[in-house]
Amino acid sequence: MAEIILVTGGARSGKSNFAEKLTLQLGNNHAAYIATAQIFDNEMAYRVKLHQARRKNNWANYEAPFDAEKIFPNVAENVILFDSVTMYLTNWILTKNLDDENIFVDFENFIEKLLAAAENSCAKVIFVSDEVGAGIVPENKLSRVFRDMLGLANQKIAAHSEKVFLTVAGLAVDIKKIAENNFAEKNILDEIKIVIKERKRIDVTTKGEWTDAIEKCWQKETEILSRDIEKTIDFIENKCSNDTFCWISEVFDDVAAITQSPKFIDAIKKRAAFITDKDQRRLVETDISFAEEKILPKNL
């Protein structure tokens, strides 16, 4: 799986400048740049020129105002800068009907596609985004929906990131490292990602055949998810990608048998609704039905 880094901050905080320097450092002075902005007026044209002026010949440039997941497979560079999630979401939301009751479901799938493409690229991917939720509540619906979605997108990307930098006044701080130091406990997503990576490696070498090594991976996943069911439920509801959810669904019955938690069953049922691939959803729903059978009647 790819290594993801998130760089976020307010306007003119220095986030893009920092992200560009970090990207070139990680890429030995050569990297890919995925640009998401569209130019409709002189002000945006000026902002784009400022960014372009900083980038020399050591960048391979790609443009993806829409459907960025189609760009990642074509990038040959080992390090990719995606600037920015903010503009990418802006382009998407302006094509949507804000009164559509499924708009947040569509948004979840939109971000899932972007994250899945980044993780499957096997590159280091640096996402640049903005923090827009620190001010007053906007008066119009478009601004409120945008603010909420960008905040949720940042949370989702941060959960999948090895590092998260917050930039203020040109200074960048790894806030994920601070958070991990403040809360010296294991992160479910980080642990699960390690086990899934091992399972994928084993699948390649054994061509999908069942082995004792796969059994050990299942046992480890069960142990991680059963350790603290409230944290597991939060992980499934807020931090778990579709791909990860499908991988761990195979141990849902064991987790249910150990925890005897109806809340866990409710959480995995709700999360399954976000899976758009019909075949994957059918397999996951089968796993969930097995899990339901493990809850004793007295706990229902």
Catalytic residue IDs: 51
Q: From CA 202, how far away is CA 260, in angstroms rounded?
A: 31
The Cβ of residue 110 has, within 10 Å, a number of other Cβ atoms equal to 19
Q: Are 226 and 175 in contact (CB under 8 A)?
A: no
Cα distance from N-terminal residue to C-terminal residue, the chain: 38
Q: How far is CA 87 from the centre of its chain?
A: 17
The rounded distance, in Å, linking the Cα atoms of 299 and 64 is: 50
Nearest to 294 by CA among 259, 253, 238, 262: 253
Question: What is the DSSP code (8-state) at residue 67?
Answer: -
Distance between CA atoms of residues 278 and 77, nearest Å: 33
Give 100-105 contacts, CB < 8 A, sequence gap 24+. Answer: 103/145, 104/149, 105/273, 105/274
Identify which of 6, 3, 277 has the alpha carbon closest to the alpha carbon of residue 153: 6
Distance CA(106)–CA(104), nearest Å, equals 5
